[in-house]
Amino acid sequence: MPSIDYPWLYDTVRKRFDSDAALEDFLPKALSADELRRKGDDRYLSAMSQRVFQAGMQHTMVDAKWPAFEEVFEGFEPQAMARLGPRQIDGYLQDARIIRHRTKLESIAKNAQFILDIRQETGGSFGAFIADWPVSDIVGLWRVLAQRGSRLGGRSASGFLRLVGKDTFLITSHVIARLQESGVIERTPTSQRDLQRVQEAFNALQETSGRPLCQLSALLALSIHPMFEGGPVGRTSSRQADAKPVTLRVSVPCGSGCPAGWALTAETAAKSGEIRRRAVALAETAVFCSSFRNRRFLQ
């Protein structure tokens, strides 16, 4: 099976940065298994629901309304949410504080029941179920989420896992392009056979590099071509030193209808780190167009 040479991948991306530290600061981080276990199952249901509502909507709008969702749904406690019925849904459809979308609202009760079923089957928390799932078969976890959860198919499964901090790669246009260039796949992976080939490629990279899947995913995306105008990331220009506005243009072709590029401006050199984080979010998570400002995809 064709594979990707990790030293080549790292060196290709490293050239875009001013230092090793700048690159490491740029890359996303996953939570540890212990941190995932410590999350309450209400936090997993909240994140599932947030990801469901983000699908097909502007993420910033959903994120801005999420504190109101937390209040309306009283913290997303799974046992209480599993009891939601048509009468309660009708009531929520009259509440202007939240996004009133019937089928997405109905998914809350279904996903709450999914969480409760997993707890009963495993004898532990849903967080432990997520934490214990081996990342060497992360596409298997995607499949469970898609088959047993509500509205968690497609890219929503990996988006949910990234939202809660579980290590996962993302299938974005940039990642697909690098995998195609390397001969791992011929087309966008949709079949289980193609997804398994992608998993095997990531497993081989992880074995060679020791890096988490989320960082390998970012490296693959960055190797394709977000173009940093004005030199390597991490270098302070004379204009930055003078604290004048500095614009970093990131050219990111996106298959989901967003503009082909974004102009991100920092008023002072102190904000350059935010520019870097926004740029990598655009590069890796082009499918989550408007969520590039959402730092949870990078933590």
Show the domain range for 250. 238-297
State in Å, rounded, how far the first CA of the chain is from the last one. Answer: 32
| Least reliable range by pLDDT among 30-39, 150-159, 188-197, 269-278 | 269-278
pLDDT (0 to 100) of residue 145? 98
**Residue 230 counted as domain residue:** no
| CA atoms of 66 and 41, how far apart (whole Å) | 17
Tens digit of each residue's pLDDT (9 = 90 or more) over 103-156:
999 999 999 999 999 999 999 999 999 999 999 999 999 999 999 999 999 999
**Residue 43 counted as domain residue:** yes
Residue 66: CATH number of its domain: 1.10.340.30
| CA atoms of 282 and 87, how far apart (whole Å) | 41
**Residue 227 counted as domain residue:** no
| Axis-axis angle for helices 156-164, 41-54 (nearest 10) | 140
pLDDT (0 to 100) of residue 3? 87
**Residue 40 counted as domain residue:** yes
pLDDT (0 to 100) of residue 234? 52
pLDDT (0 to 100) of residue 225? 63
pLDDT (0 to 100) of residue 2? 84
Strand partners, 249: 263
Tens digit of each residue's pLDDT (9 = 90 or more) over 172-181:
999 999 999 9
**Residue 233 counted as domain residue:** no
pLDDT at 265 over 70: no
Examine the fold and report which residue of 137, 164, 191 is the final residue of a domain before the chain moves on.
Answer: 164
Q: How many domains does the chain have?
A: 3
Examine the fold and report which residue of 129, 147, 164 is the final residue of a domain before the chain moves on.
Answer: 164
Under 8 Å between Cβ of 17 and 232:
yes
| CA atoms of 33 and 290, how far apart (whole Å) | 29
17 and 42 housed in the same domain: no
DSSP conformational letter for 281: H
39 and 27 housed in the same domain: no
What percent of the chain shows pLDDT beyond 90?
73
User: Which DSSP helix (H) or strand (E) runs through 63?
Assistant: helix 59-72
pLDDT (0 to 100) of residue 233? 55
pTM: 0.79
